[in-house]
């Protein structure tokens, strides 16, 4: 359901995926988990002492670059929350991100 909703109503999925801080999300639970798991994973990786690049890759693994030079809705909503946002300009970082996204989409 989350995947279909994201395909047809991405802004609505982002809104439903905002966490209110408690863990009683009711019917929104799958949306919260889907939307928040990159941030949660990045926080855990940072706390475990992972490199800034590793934390960045985990944080943005779910994102695809918007049109050249533009910022997508999720990036816009999250700018400034987690430090570096996707620049899509550093080709070596982009290649690593694409490899992680390929692996993630196969699971």
Across the range 1-14, mean pLDDT stands at 88
Q: Which residue has the tokens 């533009």?
A: 70
Across the range 20-29, mean pLDDT stands at 79
Read off the tokens for 19. 């966490």
Taking the C-alpha atoms of residue 75 and residue 86, their distance in angstroms, rounded to an integer, is: 8
Q: What is the pTM of this model?
A: 0.69
Q: CB–CB of 35/18 below 8 Å?
A: yes
Q: pLDDT at position 58, please? A: 93
The percentage of the chain sitting over the pLDDT mark of 90, rounded to a whole number, equals: 24
Spell out the alpha helix ranges (H) of 1-90: 2-8, 10-16, 29-47, 52-60, 73-78
Q: pLDDT at position 7, please? A: 86
Of the pLDDT bands very low, low, confident and very high (cuts 50, 70, 90), residue 51 is: very high
Which one has a higher pLDDT value, 59 or 67? 59
Residue 46: pLDDT above 90? yes
């Amino acid at each position: 359901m989350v995947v279909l909703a994201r395909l047809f109503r991405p802004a609505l999925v982002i809104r439903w995926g905002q966490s209110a801080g408690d863990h009683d999300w009711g019917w929104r639970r799958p949306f919260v988990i889907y939307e928040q798991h990159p941030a949660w994973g990045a926080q855990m990786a940072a706390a475990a002492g992972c490199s800034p690049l590793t934390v960045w890759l985990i944080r943005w693994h779910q994102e695809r670059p918007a049109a050249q030079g533009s910022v997508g809705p999720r990036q816009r909503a999250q700018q400034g929350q987690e430090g570096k946002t996707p620049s899509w300009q550093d080709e070596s970082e982009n290649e690593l991100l694409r490899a992680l996204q390929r692996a993630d989409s196969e699971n």
